Every structure is written in C-alpha cells, then in structure tokens.
Amino acid sequence: MQIIENEKKYDVVIVGSGAGGGMATKVLADAGLKVAVIEAGPFFDPANPEQQTQLKWPYQSPRRGAGTTRAFGEFDMAYGGWEINGEPYNQIGDSQFDWFRSRMLGGRTNHWGRISLRFGPRDFKGKDRDGLGENWPIGYEDIKPYYDKVDKLIGVFGSKEGIYNEPDGFFLPAPKPRLHELYYKKGAEKAGVKVIPSRLSILTKRINNERGICFYCNQCSRSCSVYGDFSAGSCLIFPAQKSGGQVDLYVNSMVREVTVNEEGKATGVLYINKEDRKEYRVSGKVVILAASACSTARILLNSKSITHPNGLGNSSGMVGKYLHDSTGSDRMAFVPELMNRKRYNEDGVGGMHLYSPWWLDNKKLDFPRGYHIEVWGGMGMPSYGTGFNPNDLNKYLGLKVGGYGNGLREDVKKFYGSVMGMSGRGESIALESNYCEIDPTTVDEFGIPVLRFHYKWSDHERKQARHMHDTFEEIIHNMGGTVLGSKPGADRDYGLLNPGRIIHEVGTTRMGSDPTKSVVNEFEQLHDAENVFIVDAGPFVSQADKNPTWTILALSWRTSEFIIQELKKQNI
C-alpha cells in the first residue's frame, strides 16, 4: 500500500481541533496562513440538527439517557469516552490511569464544564513556594494579555473579586445562584470557606452578532446549538472559515506520525483515513500538535527517525513524563429542608452558579497546593436513574424503605431536588515517575502502537483528598444536611478518584528553558525541531487547581503569534 501524497502545500498543519488546535487555527488563518486541520473524529457542528442532543427529552431515546454509548449519558456531546472500541491503551503493573478521548471536531470542548479559570501568579511558581515540582519558565504577566484577549473573544461570566491568585478578567455578568447553591453558600461561609460567583465560558450577555445568548437550559454538556457556550468549532474554527480564512478540515483522519527531512525538521504528518484505511501525507512548513497531552506524546514517540531515534522532540527522554491530572473527590448530601420543593424552572446555565476558590494557606496544612469546590444539585431534568431507590432517604426520617404502590410516586416527588453534592478539584504534584510510553506489544485498529500508563498518587494528593472530605462534611452539617455515604478512609485513598477521571491530564511535553529537562521552550516550540509546536496541555509544567482550558487557549494564542513572527522573519 502506497502513501498517498496530498499535492497541496500548507503553511501550517494542525493536529487536533480542540481548544488548542482551534485557537491556533483561528489566529493563524486570520493572519492569512494556509491551514490544514487534521481531526481523528467526524465533523461536528452544534447547530446541525442531525447531531444535536440539546433540548431532547429522555423519552426521545429508548434508553432514556443511560450511558451505554457515551460515558456521561447518551445526550452528552463527546464521541468517545474512557474506552473506545478499536483504540485500546494499557497499564503498567497495577496502575490505573483512565484516559478520556473525544473523537470529533472540537474534541472535548463540546461537552466540557466551561469552567474557565485563569492560573494565578502563584500557580506558575509552585516550586518557589514548597520546593516541589518545577516552576514554569513564564509567569502570569507573560500570559495575562492573552487571557484578556481570550475573555473578550470567547466570553466568560464571573465577578471581579480582587483575589491575588484568582485573577479577574473581562467578565460578563454572573447568573444569580439557585436555591441549593444559597444553602451551600450559607454552610460554606459559616465554615470559613470563601464563596464567589463561578466563572464559566457561557454568554450571559451578547458578545458579538454571530453567537446567540444563553437561554438557560443547563445543557452545555450537549453543546449549544446557538453557540451560547464555548466550543472550539463554534467559536474558533467556523469563524476562521467564515471570515475567509484558508482552512481545510480533514476529519476522520488519525495521525500516525510527524515526518521529518534529513536535517530533522518536520515536513508534515502521516495519517490514516478512517473511511478507506489508506495512509496519506499532508505537508506544511510548520506542524502544530494539539491532539491532547497524551495523544501528542504518542505521536511524538511514534515519530522515530535517524535524526530523532527516540522519537521526535525526545532527546531529553522527557516525552510522556510528568503526566498529571487534577485530584478529585466528591460527596453527596441530603438536605431535609429541600424536601417537597415548590416547582419552578431552575435549569440555569450548564454548571454551577457559584463555587469556592482555594481559600487556605498551606503553611498550616499537611499537604501542598490547593483545591476548589464545585457545587451541584437542584430540580434537574430526569434521566436514566431518576427514581432508583425511590425512598432510601426515608431511613433518615424514620420511615419505611422499599414497598410498592402509589406511595412511591409521592416519595419520588418528595425527595426531588433535596440531594446535592460537592466536588473538590485540586492540584497534584507532577512526578517523573508518572508517565505514558509506547507499548510495543499493542497496536490500535489503525496499526498505530498504543500507549501504556504508569501513574501512582502520592501522599500529597491523598492528604488533600482527606481534607476535602473534612471540609465537605463541615459544610453539609452547617447547611443542616445529612452526609450521604461513609467517609472514605486510607483503604480507599480518602476518596481520591483514579488519575484521569477529572480529564485534566497535562504535562507530558513540559515546557522549560533547559532542553535536557523539558520538551518545549516557553513558546511551546520543540527544543529538538524548531518548526514543531505543541499547543495542547502537554506543555503544562504544573496543573493548578484551575481547569486547564483557559490556559491552553491563552498559550495557544501566544504561540501562534510567535509562529507568525518567526515565519515573517524566515526563522522557521
């Protein structure tokens, strides 16, 4: 089988169409460059009625929303999940890293929580504070102008709070909290936990005439058909095309490797067309990898050549190392005062209306770094699982559990909206011993060697999770609620979820000024190949307790401007 050459020569070939790839597409196409975007999944447009799940009812599906085909329920807009048929990955020893992939234009931006937090000044210099991990080679002041531009281009609601490590931005106004969130606020503030309006990339106010405004259906995870929330297709790639940009999308195209010339410079990428299963090559002056931290590491490690025998960009041996995800642990509460609620539409935006940023000083704690608390609950749309164990909560009221008959209807209605929950999402310490690498024993259905993972939490993360549960319990008691489930102990890592479960995996191609200890420089340019850049979360030196997307976007914009300058100067 021959490799089929694409005659077209691009300025830039971008692998992946999520946050990082989408932003690079927009900035580079707006600058007049010829761009090819290679996406492993199908085309997706949230406005396409054939693909739309927004505003569908559970009874429009034979499984009523169950998660058989999509990990977060079948209306969720991620084509993929922690397991994908034909695309396996393996573990080393008893590691348990769960790798979430979404194969579609826009990637995981179509379903994500839209939590859009800037990293603060302290987040770039963790090592200065506690001696752990590594500092970033850049600081907040380097990235601030790009955060500002991202806020204005894409839109994020929030409130100016003046908290040093939670920098304010150019915010749209915040929606008013829901009832259970006011309960949370009362309970949290009594426990000394700071509460502020959340910061989500959802349009509570018009930002331009191309995108609609939020109409409060709570379904951002289904991707908004009026483009009222951020996804890379609706906010970056489509606008780039619409304004006349030279953008060619190659969908259902699985990149195998980056090809290089004799000098070791990238010439383009090789991909497998999923439909005809043939190999194609597309050429460009610059290659940008934005396939997600682990997929990008995989592509680099699979790109072996005479000049790059350990894989492209891997002369340091650092590709795949320092993989880290946010810590996460959750707890639920039953709030008797929220029984028999008056009914009204409280869907609100797709996500919480308020949250708690990290509020403590680690000097007084037995773990480094912090976490934020997300809140959930309310009278949401029923889905598969609604009505399960319909009156288990009766045991807290001294009433009978189980039975049958019309009393069950009343039980379900009585408890509707009375359960809420909290999720802690925190910063872990990046370790060289947590990594992904190529598994020479396994290929995917496209014949591409797959990844295997080695990942162990340390006591830093376990102690943080223990602190989360102490906090959750105090808040729940303050709200007049009953804590559900038993407190997870040491045997369960204090409730710490498996690495990969929070889907903030970063660090596999980390940024640094020393080429022996890092993969890219501060402009996300490979130390080993000057025309290859990485604009996903691979270059993150540390993942703060924030969510990575806003930082991916800001860094990708900064890198794209650098690429434009370097091309002008004919440096690459």
Partner 1 sequence: MNRRDSIRSLFLGSMAGGLALESCVNVSEEVLAEKVWTYQYGRTPAEAAYDKKLLNSDFLNGSEKNTITRLANLILPPNEKGTVEQAGVTEFIEFMSKDFPSLQTPIRGGLMWLENHCNRHFGNSFVNCTEDQQLSTLDQIAYPDPEAKAQKQEVQFFSLMRNLVLTGYFTSEVGIKELGYEGNQPNVWDGVPEDVLADHGLSYDEDWMPKFVDQSKRNDLAQWDDEGNLIS
> Going by DSSP bridges, is the β-strand pair 266-273/435-443 parallel, antiparallel, or unpaired?
unpaired
| 386 is an interface residue for partner 1 by CB under 8 A | yes
| 174 is an interface residue for partner 1 by CB under 8 A | yes
Shortest Å distance, C-beta 545 to partner 1: 22
Helix (H) or strand (E) holding 7: strand 4-15
| 478 is an interface residue for partner 1 by CB under 8 A | no
> Going by DSSP bridges, is the β-strand pair 435-443/247-250 parallel, antiparallel, or unpaired?
unpaired
Q: Name the one range near partner 1 by CB under 8 A: 117-125, 205-213, 361-369, 511-519.
A: 205-213
Q: Name the one range near partner 1 by CB under 8 A: 90-98, 203-211, 310-318, 520-528.
A: 203-211
Question: Contact letters (x/-) for partner 1, 343-362, by CB under 8 A?
Answer: xxxxxxx-------------
∠ at Cα 133 (131, 292), nearest 5°? Answer: 160
Cβ proximity to partner 1: between 176 and 366 the closer is 176
By three-state DSSP, how is residue 511 classified?
A: strand
CB-based contacts of 492, cutoff 8 Å, min separation 6: none
| 186 is an interface residue for partner 1 by CB under 8 A | yes
By CB under 8 A, what part of segment 54-83 binds partner 1? 55-66, 68-69, 74-75, 79
Q: Name the one range near partner 1 by CB under 8 A: 117-125, 173-181, 321-329, 564-572.
A: 173-181
By CB under 8 A, what part of segment 8-47 binds partner 1? 38-39, 42-43, 45, 47
> Site size for partner 1, by CB under 8 A?
109
Q: Contacting partner 1 (CB under 8 A), which of 382, 421, 449, 515?
A: 382
By three-state DSSP, how is residue 236 classified?
A: helix
Q: Name the one range near partner 1 by CB under 8 A: 133-141, 397-405, 441-449, 541-549.
A: 397-405
What distance in Å separates the CA atoms of residue 373 and residue 356, rounded to the nearest whole number?
A: 5
Q: Contacting partner 1 (CB under 8 A), which of 20, 21, 51, 422?
A: 51
| 448 is an interface residue for partner 1 by CB under 8 A | no
What distance in Å separates the CA atoms of residue 447 and residue 405, rounded to the nearest whole number?
A: 56
Please classify residue 483 by burial: count the beta carbons closer than 10 Å to its beta carbon, then call 0-12 exposed, 13-18 middle and 19+ buried: middle
Q: Name the one range near partner 1 by CB under 8 A: 18-26, 113-121, 171-179, 531-539.
A: 171-179
What distance in Å separates the CA atoms of residue 473 and residue 427, rounded to the nearest whole number?
A: 21
Q: What is the distance, to the nearest Å, from the Cα of residue 80 to the centroid of all Cα atoms in its chain? A: 14
Q: Contacting partner 1 (CB under 8 A), which of 121, 317, 403, 485?
A: 403
By CB under 8 A, what part of segment 306-345 binds partner 1? 337, 342-345
Q: Contacting partner 1 (CB under 8 A), which of 92, 132, 213, 339?
A: 213
Shortest Å distance, C-beta 53 to partner 1: 4
Helix (H) or strand (E) holding 153: helix 140-154
Cβ proximity to partner 1: between 43 and 82 the closer is 43
Q: Name the one range near partner 1 by CB under 8 A: 106-114, 133-141, 238-246, 256-264.
A: 238-246
* The 3-state secondary structure of 383-410, one letter per residue: CCCCCCCCCHHHHHHCCCCCCCCCHHHH
By CB under 8 A, what part of segment 94-153 binds partner 1? 148, 152
| 402 is an interface residue for partner 1 by CB under 8 A | yes
CA-based nearest residue to 541, from 139, 228, 174, 156: 139
Q: Are the CB atoms for 169 and 221 separated by under 8 Å?
A: no
Q: Contacting partner 1 (CB under 8 A), which of 4, 32, 176, 447?
A: 176
| 381 is an interface residue for partner 1 by CB under 8 A | yes
| 405 is an interface residue for partner 1 by CB under 8 A | yes
C-alpha distances (whole Å) from 499 to each of 221, 426, 555 are 22, 12, 24
By CB under 8 A, what part of segment 247-306 binds partner 1? 247-253, 273-276
Shortest Å distance, C-beta 571 to partner 1: 30
Strand partners, 435: 454
Q: Contacting partner 1 (CB under 8 A), which of 164, 262, 361, 406?
A: 406
Question: Residue 176 has what DSSP assignment?
Answer: P
Task: Give buried/exposed letters for 282-298 (b at 16+ CB in 10 A, else e).
Answer: bbbbbbbbbbbbbbbbb
Cβ proximity to partner 1: between 9 and 63 the closer is 63
Q: Contacting partner 1 (CB under 8 A), which of 387, 447, 485, 489?
A: 387
Shortest Å distance, C-beta 472 to partner 1: 21
Widest CA span of the chain, in angstroms?
78
Cβ proximity to partner 1: between 172 and 299 the closer is 172
What distance in Å separates the CA atoms of residue 528 and residue 14, rounded to the nearest whole number?
A: 18
Amino acid letter, 181: E
| 159 is an interface residue for partner 1 by CB under 8 A | yes
